[in-house]
């Protein structure tokens, strides 16, 4: 029989170790006619059926009792559509043959994927519902260039790697297969015989849904529909807009009291969204919701970066949660982690037996701090996997921006590594040129493909041009966390007020470099864990002074140039450090007259004041939007500065970081007129001592601070006041 496979080939096929199943299985035109071959383990009988007529043509011969069947149709020369009627354990099923379908990946997609420039690789790789030749099913594709064999395994084939080996596209290392009758919601993985002959069971890197941990299978799921953009949301991300971000870990913001179980996406869509709107925040930032195996990583060690975590519901539920935030006028940012991934066996590590996604050299590919693996940014397919993921969340879920985690660890090869334990770049330097190119490419892609979307860098060094455009040599982020401001000001605030005059510069130094980048001022989750204590507990003094210090600090923060970010719990001054395993201490707000309720009211009013007064945000990133009025009064620990918008409106911010009231404190001002006290952190409403300026002040033509006009103020103890110039 012409072209009939030998016993060795059948043995390799049956044992799941034949790399080219399409050369054997399916329909083949031979010199003697059409030959149809099938591998159907445990089948007792197989009948060939013509799909068009439903007519039974002939029985297939069992050539090997391990499940290899074939038949030669010597009188037929023209290929036709067919099905099998297969008898398993006395039950007969009509099935389509996966090996009668041609290649799936188009040439242009193959080229772009190999080149690393496919904007949406998730549309071609992974599992996708499809209809081929009138047959419904699921097409699968996975990149594993060094594997000896790859099979799709799942609920639909008894997790048996022999049944559905995939076609290898040798030009790009992608394996593909269309499986008829596989539907949405079924579990699957890839069974890979790697380059060393070892069998590995891997989750799909491009899966849109995953099992609830600790289970690790992928779940077949249709790709989410493209989310419409919105001009108002786009505008709300702009540099000239008020941006006040509430940073949230969904698993511990609030939990069910009766069993400490998580809220669902649906419950969060009501409770969290309503709360964020009530508090006046403009943006909601989520700690990573990509699927991750370990709760204690807070999502920062993701393995299913295309799948919203199943902890809180389905992908559809997550989409509705995002929609609810948008309907409430809240933009949503997502923490995104392209810097590293855990080495769990079911994930990306040694995917095909080689260091496929990670650098092979542990001096490049292992994060010693976190015991995680580092992506190989120089590999086209890895760059495509990550950059495509950034666009995926923006396009398919309507996420308004990404906060990129641990950028410094990506762009420096010697990050947290002693001498001799890192590999220089080819110029001999310590910069990871591949990672820098990847970030520029990703930010450029986001900027050109998703109007109004932003990226925010958590970058803790003085790397130049983080928020400069890529074509100007920058990394291309829209904003950067100001870690220097956070560290300096927190160190200052932790000091006893009697010592603060010796560290005055820590509150003013940030203005030296304030316009080098587009900054966000962050008081993030990192500041309330690992023994650092809560923000409140880092304040000095007795209970009243702790709260007063905190209120004054928040006032200074909201007045200072830069967008704002506050981690959950900080807005009502939680005593304890954040614990990801339990809810925030909402009981602290049961008493509406408590100090905690006072801080919550202050943060709400700060947000409202911030949004209502454009001098506090309009010119955040221009020199003419800020002017020091009092920068050198270290003895009294008083700071005063003026904020200005593009229309000439002005706001004065004055802070007193001692418990001594400053009565009759004169400050020079550039513009005379009437000024109104629009916010005072010492107000009785916030549980302060209620000292202030009786609502209104008038300037005097009395020189002070090198200016011809001045204001005579009462500056309350441990407080910040905002004064708006009246027209």
* Encoded tokens for 301: 């060690």
**CA 95 centroid distance within chain:** 41
Instruction: At 370, give phi and psi (nearest 5°).
Output: -115, 0
| Rg (the chain; Cα; Å) | 31
What is the maximum alpha-carbon separation in the chain?
111
From the list 11, 63, 17, the residue with the least C-alpha distance to 37 is: 63
Angle at 211 between CA 367 and CA 40, to 5 degrees: 110
- How many C-beta atoms lie closer than 10 Å to residue 628's C-beta? 13
> 3-state DSSP call for residue 124?
coil
Residue 406 — left, alpha, or beta (φ > 0 → left; ψ -120 to 50 → alpha)?
A: left
Separation of alpha carbons 568 and 571, rounded Å = 6
Beta strands in 100-134 (DSSP E): 126-132
Q: Bin 664: left if φ > 0, else alpha if -120 < ψ < 50, else beta.
A: left
Identify the burial level of 78 via C-beta atoms within 10 angstroms of its C-beta, where 0-12 means exposed, 13-18 middle and 19 or more buried.
exposed
DSSP 700: B
667 with 679: CB under 8 angstroms? no
- Please tell me the number of Cα atoms within 13 Å of 319 on its side-chain side: 18
Alpha-carbon span 34 to 75, nearest angstrom: 8
**For residue 405, how far is the Cα from the chain centroid?**
8
Cα–Cα distance between 208 and 221 in angstroms, integer?
Answer: 6
CB 276 within 8 A of CB 247: no
Catalytically active residues, by annotation: 405, 458
The span from the CA of 529 to the CA of 523, in Å, is: 12
Residue matched to tokens 């699927």: 291
C-alpha to C-alpha distance for 677 and 67, rounded to whole angstroms: 85
């Amino acid at each position: 029989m012409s072209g009939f496979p030998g016993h060795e080939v059948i043995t390799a096929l049956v044992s799941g170790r034949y790399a080219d199943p399409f050369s054997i299985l399916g329909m083949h035109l031979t010199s003697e006619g059409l030959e149809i071959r099938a591998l159907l383990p445990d089948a007792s009988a197989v009948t060939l059926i013509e799909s068009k007529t439903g007519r039974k043509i002939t029985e297939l011969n069992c050539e090997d009792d391990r499940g290899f069947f074939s038949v030669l149709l010597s009188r037929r020369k023209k290929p036709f559509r067919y099905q099998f009627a297969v008898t398993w354990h006395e039950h007969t099923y009509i099935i389509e043959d996966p090996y009668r379908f041609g290649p799936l990946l188009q040439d242009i997609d193959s080229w772009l994927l190999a080149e690393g420039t496919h904007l949406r690789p998730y549309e071609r790789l992974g599992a996708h519902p499809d209809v081929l030749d009138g047959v419904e099913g699921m097409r699968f594709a996975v990149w594993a260039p060094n594997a000896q064999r790859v099979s799709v395994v799942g609920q639909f084939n008894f997790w048996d790697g022999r049944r559905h080996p995939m076609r290898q596209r040798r030009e790009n290392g992608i394996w593909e297969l269309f499986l008829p009758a596989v539907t949405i919601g079924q579990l699957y993985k890839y069974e890979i015989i790697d380059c060393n002959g070892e069998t590995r069971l891997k989750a799909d890197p491009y899966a849109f849904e995953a099992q609830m941990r600790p289970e690790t299978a992928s779940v077949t799921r249709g790709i989410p529909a493209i989310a419409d953009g919105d001009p108002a949301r786009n505008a709300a991300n702009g540099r000239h807009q008020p941006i006040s971000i509430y940073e949230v870990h969904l698993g511990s913001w609030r939990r069910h009291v009766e069993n400490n179980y998580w809220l669902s996406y649906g419950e969060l869509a009501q409770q969290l969204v309503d709360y964020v709107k009530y508090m006046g925040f403009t943006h909601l930032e989520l700690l990573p919701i990509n699927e991750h195996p370990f709760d204690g990583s807070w999502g920062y060690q993701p393995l299913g970066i295309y799948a919203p975590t199943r902890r809180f519901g389905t992908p559809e539920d997550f989409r509705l949660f995002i929609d609810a935030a948008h309907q409430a006028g809240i933009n949503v940012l997502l923490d995104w982690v392209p810097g590293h991934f855990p080495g769990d066996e079911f994930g990306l590590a040694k995917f095909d037996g080689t260091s496929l996604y990670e650098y092979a050299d542990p001096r490049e590919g292992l994060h010693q701090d976190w015991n995680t693996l580092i992506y190989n940014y120089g590999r086209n397919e890895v760059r495509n996997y990550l950059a495509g993921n950034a666009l995926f969340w923006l396009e398919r879920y309507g996420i308004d921006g990404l906060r990129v985690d641990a950028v410094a660890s990506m762009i420096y090869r010697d990050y947290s590594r002693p001498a001799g334990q890192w590999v220089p770049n080819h110029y001999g330097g310590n910069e990871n040129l591949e990672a820098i190119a990847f970030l520029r490419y990703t930010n450029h892609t986001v900027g050109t493909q998703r109007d109004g979307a932003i990226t925010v860098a958590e970058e803790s060094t003085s790397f130049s041009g983080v928020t400069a455009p890529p074509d100007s040599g920058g990394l291309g982020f829209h904003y950067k966390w100001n870690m220097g401001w956070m560290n300096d000001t927190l160190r200052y605030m932790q000091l006893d007020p009697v010592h603060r005059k010796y560290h005055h510069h820590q509150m003013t130094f940030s203005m030296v470099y304030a316009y080098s980048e587009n900054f966000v001022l962050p008081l993030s989750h990192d500041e309330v864990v690992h023994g650092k204590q809560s923000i409140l507990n880092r304040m000095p003094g007795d209970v009243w002074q702790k709260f007063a210090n905190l209120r004054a600090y928040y006032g200074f923060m909201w007045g200072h140039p830069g967008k704002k970010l506050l981690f959950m719990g900080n807005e009502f001054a939680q005593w304890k450090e954040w614990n990801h395993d339990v809810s925030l201490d909402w009981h602290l707000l049961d008493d509406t007259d408590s100090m905690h309720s006072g801080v919550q009211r202050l943060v709400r009013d700060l947000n409202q004041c911030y949004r209502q007064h454009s001098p506090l945000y309009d010119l955040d990133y221009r020199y003419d939007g800020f002017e020091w009025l009092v920068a050198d009064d270290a003895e009294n620990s008083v700071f005063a500065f003026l904020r200005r918008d593009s229309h000439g409106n002005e706001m004065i911010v004055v802070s007193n970081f001692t418990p001594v009231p400053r009565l009759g404190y004169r400050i020079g001002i550039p513009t005379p007129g009437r000024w109104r006290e629009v916010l005072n952190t010492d107000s009785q409403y916030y549980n302060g001592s209620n000292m202030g300026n009786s609502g209104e002040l008038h300037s005097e033509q009395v020189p002070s601070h090198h200016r011809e006009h001045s204001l005579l103020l009462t500056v309350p103890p441990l407080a910040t006041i905002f004064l708006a110039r009246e027209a």
